[in-house]
Amino acid sequence: MIKLNKPLRAQCAEFIKQEEGLRLQPYICPGGVKTVGYGHALKPTDSVKEITEEAALFILKDDIGVALDAIDAYVYVELNQHQIIALCSFIFNVGVDAFRKSTLLKKLNAGAGAGEVAEEFHRWNKAGAVVITGLTNRRKKEADLFLTPVPSETLATSALSVSTIGMETKKKHWFLELLMRFLGLRKKA
């Protein structure tokens, strides 16, 4: 699991809160999904009539955890703080499954440049086939943040606060898998 320092986790929450706004009573979002709080998608079986702001924050923290777990599970390249926040917002909004299947993730893991990856955010601005201005604006903010360098004086600390045991393990597994393939090919030769 991604170990983020609280300020970075709080930055994810603040970014999402600005984009989602707070609604204490359920509503239907432009994508046609019943939603409450800071953009939390409800299940069809949920019968929520109203929540408190405290409950909305608790749900948001949980939803951020889901997004960060998805980054940990599916992203195999190093990310800076801004990239994590941008991806967290994106995953929070489109969902883990959509992210997992996205060209954005494929390009990111293939080592595409940040600009090429950032362009992929812009493709996710529709509900159905309809372009939604709010999503277009949100994707621009996410892409801009993804491209924003982390100030050099925080690079050393951000590497420590963003790195995880999970990511380190994945790197080792990736290398081990590559080594095993190499050794397997050598045995056949």
Q: Which residues are tagged catalytic?
A: 20
Sheet holding 34-37, edge to edge: 23-28, 34-37, 40-41
- Residue for token pair 């800076």: 80
- How far from 181 is each of 33, 37, 156, 175, 184, CA to CA, in Å? 44, 48, 34, 10, 5
DSSP, collapsed to helix, strand or coil, labels residue 130 as strand
Cα–Cα distances (Å) from 185 to 28, 74, 95, 129, in that order, read: 54, 27, 38, 47
Helix (H, G, I), strand (E, B) or coil at 2: coil
